[in-house]
């Protein structure tokens, strides 16, 4: 199923909120935000680190964001007579709204335009951060959603990707979900986020350079060939259907890491066909079930959509989902320690073929 109606409203502080409803809903706008919120904070600052040629976002206002509130004060549940949440309606299917504590936004105070501090250029963190609620059920999880709801979520993410790609200064749109307190989740309600980045993120820069080099050398698309090689080999494939394959990368960095890619090269979610969108839910839910089944308890995970950049290098992008966990055993977490955090050199404790076998055996 996809959404039947799309209703955009403004919260009391001017932030946008959009309902994606699976049934016709003509009364969403009848529920205004009754809170008297202060104006949203100004945008973050980007500082350029010349030593590694990377930008860092500094967003001091995020220190005050809501941290693991009790369930009767959950800002992502629908509004109840006793508590006005971020979502004014008494129920919803999928809802997206601008983050109250954004890492990037277009609210730039005039005195904060580009300046340079010695060797470190500074610029405003222009962009946008949104929150995506997958269900109004506080105690559910993405893995417990029906495939029809996954389709609605994919369509909502595609809608947001298309719109946010049009914003001034946006370099890449990144939808993701952090799941579990072990990952650092600050709200239990099932939700994801979308970042519209003002510069191409470091990992994407590396991927673009690798794809460019490969294309120049072979005349071929890198991700297409990696996916074909994984499908031909099969040792690390977890699941596949007509349109998608899920596999553990041969050089996985994380104890349990899966990439889920469409067989047809598309730049981003908006470019997926109807059939590809429908085929995604069942295979993704299967992979999530395998993750949770590994140790018989919910896996903390990060689920990340890699989409093509908006500008230069867009033709090199191949949409894929990267899903990984920091749990390496029932009672052990993988921490990014010296080698990974200081040097960026990953040491994986689990052989990828073994991880793939464990995931297939669930």
Tokens of 343: 């040097």
DSSP assignment letter at 307: -
Within 266-295, which residues bind Zn ion (CB under 5 A)?
none
CA dihedral 349, 353, 354, 359 (to 10 degrees): 110
Instruction: Select 44 or 136, whichever has its Cβ closest to Zn ion.
Output: 136
> From the list 9, 59, 76, 288, which residue makes contact with Zn ion (rule: CB under 5 A)?
76
Piece of the chain touching Zn ion by CB under 5 A; list 14-22, 136-144, 206-214, 221-229: 136-144
**Phi, psi (rounded to 5 degrees) for 12:** -65, -20
Task: Please report whether residue 95 would count as binding Zn ion according to CB under 5 A.
Answer: no
Closest separation between CB of residue 91 and Zn ion, Å? 12
Within 179-198, which residues bind Zn ion (CB under 5 A)?
189
Tokens of 282: 């069942």
Piece of the chain touching Zn ion by CB under 5 A; list 66-74, 106-114, 251-259, 275-283: 66-74
Task: Please report whether residue 302 would count as binding Zn ion according to CB under 5 A.
Answer: no
Whether 191 sits among the annotated catalytic residues: the reply is yes
Per-residue b/e over 240-250, b at no fewer than 16 CB within 10 Å? eeebbbbbbbe
Task: Please report whether residue 87 would count as binding Zn ion according to CB under 5 A.
Answer: no
CA angle 77, 129, 126 (to 5 degrees): 155
Piece of the chain touching Zn ion by CB under 5 A; list 29-37, 74-82, 142-150, 218-226: 74-82
Task: Please report whether residue 74 would count as binding Zn ion according to CB under 5 A.
Answer: yes
Task: Please report whether residue 77 would count as binding Zn ion according to CB under 5 A.
Answer: yes
Closest separation between CB of residue 77 and Zn ion, Å? 3
**Residue closest to Zn ion, measured at CB:** 74
Please identify which of the residues 189, 191, 306, 320 carries the catalytic annotation.
Answer: 191
Determine the length of the chain: 362
d(CA 58, CA 40): 16
**Phi, psi (rounded to 5 degrees) for 80:** -110, 160
Q: Scanning the structure block, which residue is given the tokens 């370099």? A: 171
Q: Which residues are catalytic?
A: 191
Question: Residues in the site for Zn ion, rule: CB under 5 A?
Answer: 74, 76-77, 138, 189
């Amino acid at each position: 199923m996809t959404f039947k109606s799309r209703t955009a409203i403004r919260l009391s502080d001017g932030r946008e909120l959009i309902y994606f409803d699976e049934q016709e809903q003509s009364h969403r706008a009848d529920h205004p935000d009754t809170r008297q919120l202060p104006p949203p904070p100004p945008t973050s600052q980007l500082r350029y680190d010349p030593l590694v040629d990377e930008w860092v976002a500094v967003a001091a206002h995020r220190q005050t964001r809501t941290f693991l509130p009790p369930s009767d004060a959950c800002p992502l549940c629908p509004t109840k007579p006793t508590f006005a949440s971020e979502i004014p309606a008494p129920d919803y299917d999928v809802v997206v709204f601008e983050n109250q504590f954004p890492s990037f936004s277009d609210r730039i105070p005039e005195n904060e335009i580009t300046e340079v501090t010695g060797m470190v250029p500074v610029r405003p963190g222009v962009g946008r951060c949104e929150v995506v609620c997958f269900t109004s059920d506080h105690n559910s999880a993405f893995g417990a959603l029906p495939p029809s709801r996954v389709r609605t979520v994919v369509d909502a993410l595609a809608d947001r990707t298309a719109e946010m790609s049009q914003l001034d200064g946006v370099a890449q749109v990144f939808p993701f979900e952090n799941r579990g307190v072990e990952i650092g989740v600050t709200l239990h309600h099932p939700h994801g986020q979308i970042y519209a980045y003002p510069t191409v993120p470091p990992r994407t820069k590396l991927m673009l350079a690798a794809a460019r080099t490969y294309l120049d050398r072979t005349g071929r698309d890198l991700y297409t060939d990696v996916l074909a090689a994984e499908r031909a080999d099969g040792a690390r494939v977890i699941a596949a259907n007509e349109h998608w394959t899920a596999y553990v990368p041969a050089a996985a960095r994380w104890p349990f890491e899966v990439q889920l890619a469409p067989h047809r090269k598309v730049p981003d979610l908006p470019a997926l066909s109807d059939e590809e969108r429908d085929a995604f839910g069942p295979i993704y839910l299967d992979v999530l079930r395998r993750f949770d089944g590994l140790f018989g308890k919910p896996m903390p995970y990060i689920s990340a959509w890699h989409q093509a950049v908006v500008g230069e290098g867009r033709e090199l992008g191949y949409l894929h989902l990267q899903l990984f966990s920091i749990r390496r055993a029932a009672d052990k977490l993988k921490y990014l320690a010296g080698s990974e955090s200081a040097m960026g050199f990953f040491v994986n404790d689990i052989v990828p073929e073994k991880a793939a076998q464990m995931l297939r055996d669930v």
